[in-house]
Structure 1
Amino acid sequence: MSSSRHLAPEGNRFIILLGALTAQGAISVDVLLPSLPSMVRELSMTSAAAQLTIGLYIGGFAAGQLGWGWLSDWVGRRPVILAGTGGYALTTFMCSFSHSGEELLFWRLLLGICAAAPITVSRAVLRDHFTGRLLARRMAAMTTVFFLSPMLAPALGTFLLYSFGWRSVFWVPGLISVIALGFAWVFLGESHAISKRKRSSFLQILGTFRDMILHPVSGPCLMIQAGMSAGIMTWISSSSLILTGYYQIPNRYYALFFTATAAVQLSGTISCNHLLRTHTLPKVMEWGGIFVGSGAVLLFLCTVPFNAPLWAVMSSIWIFMYGFGLMVPATSGMALHAFGLVGGLAAALLGSAQSLFGSIGSIVSASLYNGTASSLGEGMGMAAAFACLMLLILSLRLRREPELVDHPPEADTPLNEQKTST
């Protein structure tokens, strides 16, 4: 499908639109956190049930990615993004009308399934248009827009809660989703040509997953992303308890720390985009690994053998997060590069691995928590060690076989321009 109204993939407005669509998933978690105690009181929920509003959402999100990715390879990217975004808007509003804990949990599960569509398929859209370093740069630009959500959502959630009550934390994301749906309907074209569409059988799906995991480049990149996600979820799941409990930070200031951490991640993705103009993907990944590893080591030292002050702990976390921002776009681009014909399934596997390891990170963090900050250092340290080990394996492999990432010159050119030039 083509139209003069559809945005050109090389333009910034195209990336802003995709970034806004993907940010919906993060908004649904971050904006809700300040309202959990109010939900417990009004809906007569237990604290454990309130936590399930996050857990069921993440579970639905993880499962939904596989279905949406498979469907987008079959029917195209645009209808899947529109369907998922429309479903997200509907289920968000239904959450606000819930009159019992069970009803809210049901809609949160469906909300997670719908939220998976735009973030999964948007990656596939970029893979349809770009390869090589340019793919990673566009991933970095989209991720930059995405990180605006965790920067703003906690403060927005707090404002809505105290101004209009907990139900309002669903109204604004729902309204944003309706607006995003309208823009996508008008300005987002189809990127997956009919001639390339494929309805994969169950065995073919398993084969694609096997090929991606065993691929000499995509496999390690997948594991790097998984390890980094475990580290991020360790921070997200334990930061509130540690900052407000152990360090006695007032609740009203917690959002500032969360926002500052997201801003550091944002600066990492911006740096990744600029560095890829002149440096190779492996080099940028290695620099990101240095920051991640250094931050994790410092954080471990600050929280396990020593009882360091808060400024030292947060500085270590921010070093880690900057490296995360450098690594994620580069590893995403390299992971998807070889799987253009099944970009939906490949993006789904990438997202599912992130969700799975993120859940593991949350569980490990909860099991390690002892009332101090040591669980943060131990959890993020283990995640960083795994990611850096995978990065080391990949780096050594690429030094032995540099042709694995030596793309032809046209690999840094949009695919539509490649076709025109030929």
Structure 2
Amino acid sequence: ASSSVEMLLLSRVVMGLGAAGPRVVALAIVRDLYSGREMAKMMSIAMMIFTLVPAIAPMLGAGIIFLTSWRAIFLAFALFALIIILWMGLRLPEPLAVENRRPFRLPQLMAALVEMIQHPTVRLSMLVQCLCLAMLFCMITLVQPIYDVVFDRAESFPFWFGFIALMSGTGSLINASVVVRLGMRRMVTWALCGQIGLSALMLLLESLHLPNDTMFGLFVAWQTSVFFMAGLTLGNLNAMAMEPMGHIAGMAASIVGGVSTIFAAAAAATVGLLFDGSIAPLTGAILLMVALAFLIMLHMARVEMRHPAE
């Protein structure tokens, strides 16, 4: 049992370190088993899980607390960890052949990092993924204060948020269905272009001072579109970054996941400090990030035309 806030925060850090492992391993396993657009299809399904679980977590946590107490949250964490251990131990064989395994040594790790940074598609895919994940983190960070302060719907927030996450999760399913035919870069570029229009429209509507109930409905629709965009982009961006790095899939998954998560968390913290009782800071930040991500994707297309073999 924790006797202080500091000990509680330290425990959360340790839990975060433990939770990071399964995400990295999952992406590395997908890369070991698949390549190309088929990998993007499987990445979309994996990223759908990664996106939906944090989104429905408030509703799940509220349900656990309602049925028991806040202490049961930590028991739930232990139960989830036990399920993961049993499932992987009994159902998941090692997909990486022995001859393809690399020693866990600092020189090899640094060489893998340099190789990733030097590859233009990997580098640009990571940048766009940082921005897309930052948009998602900004939404998750500010949406509860917005429901509470702006729309006075704090009590119903977990249920709205969970419902929206489930609805927008269809983005990953749609991407998994069509990415094999349309391609990863095209899907990401189109999704970002659409979100530029929706975010710009939302920023304009916010300035018109429409009735509160009307604005709430518009905000819910826009919130859904941001999660939907994540479903159309994150899996593809992971696949694009991992595709040339099949020989160092574990290291690549670690770097891509770590860099994008740290960047997204820092961006969300910064945007969170700008909250002024309106939706304008969130809308403006997401519009800026999605526009920048779109420009990087256009640059990536030019780079790939100049270096088709990379």
TM-score of the pair, normalised by structure 2: 0.91
Q: Deviations over 1:36-66 (max 9, x none)?
A: xxxxxxxxxxxxxxxxxxxxxxxxxxxxxxx
Q: How does 1:247-286 map to 2 (within 5 A)?
A: 247-249=151-153, 251-286=154-189
Q: Is the 8 A contact 2:185 2:297 kept in 1?
A: no
Q: Does 1:296 align with 2:199?
A: yes
Cα offset for 1:120?
Answer: 0.8
Look up the match of 2:209: 307
Deviates more, 1:259-268 or 1:386-395: 259-268
CA distance, structure 2, for counterparts of residue 181 and residue 291 of structure 1? 40
CA distance, structure 2, for counterparts of residue 142 and residue 252 of structure 1? 31
Look up the match of 1:90: none
The one of 222, 226, 240 equivalent to 1:320 is 226
The one of 277, 291, 299 equivalent to 1:393 is 299
Q: Deviations over 1:381-414 (max 9, x none)?
A: 222122212112112333455555xxxxxxxxxx
Look up the match of 1:364: 270
The 3 A distance-change label for structure 1 pair 393 and 261 is farther
Identity of aligned residues (%): 22
Q: Is the 8 A contact 2:116 2:122 kept in 1?
A: yes
Task: Structure 1: state its 5+ residue gaps.
Answer: 1-96, 405-422
Q: Is the 8 A contact 1:128 1:191 kept in 2?
A: yes
Q: Is the 8 A contact 1:296 1:317 kept in 2?
A: no
Look up the match of 2:86: 182
CA distance, structure 1, for counterparts of residue 277 and residue 10 of structure 2? 32
Look up the match of 1:123: 27
Task: Structure 2: state its 5+ residue gaps.
Answer: none
Q: Is the 8 A contact 1:120 1:344 kept in 2?
A: yes
Q: Is the 8 A contact 1:289 1:388 kept in 2?
A: yes
Look up the match of 1:51: none
Look up the match of 1:380: 286
Cα offset for 1:201?
Answer: 4.1
CA distance, structure 2, for counterparts of residue 195 and residue 385 of structure 1? 44
Secondary structure in 1 aligned to 2:209?
A: coil
- Cα RMSD of the aligned pairs, angstroms, is 2.0
Q: How does 1:45-194 map to 2 (within 5 A)?
A: 97-194=1-98
Q: Is the 8 A contact 1:291 1:322 kept in 2?
A: no
CA distance, structure 1, for counterparts of residue 6 and residue 163 of structure 2? 35
Look up the match of 1:196: 100
Deviates more, 1:344-353 or 1:254-263: 254-263
Secondary structure in 1 aligned to 2:70?
A: coil
Look up the match of 2:149: 245
Cα offset for 1:316?
Answer: 2.3
The 3 A distance-change label for structure 1 pair 386 and 351 is same
CA distance, structure 2, for counterparts of residue 184 and residue 108 of structure 1? 23
CA distance, structure 1, for counterparts of residue 127 and residue 180 of structure 2? 25
Cα offset for 1:98?
Answer: 2.5
| Residue type at the aligned position of 1:247 | F
CA distance, structure 2, for counterparts of residue 264 and residue 297 of structure 1? 22
Q: Is the 8 A contact 2:40 2:236 kept in 1?
A: yes
Look up the match of 1:228: 132
Q: Is the 8 A contact 2:64 2:73 kept in 1?
A: yes
User: Relative contact order, CA 8 A, sep 6+: which one is greater?
Assistant: 2
The one of 223, 248, 252 equivalent to 1:342 is 248
Deviates more, 1:259-268 or 1:366-375: 259-268
Cα offset for 1:203?
Answer: 4.5
Q: Is the 8 A contact 2:43 2:235 kept in 1?
A: yes
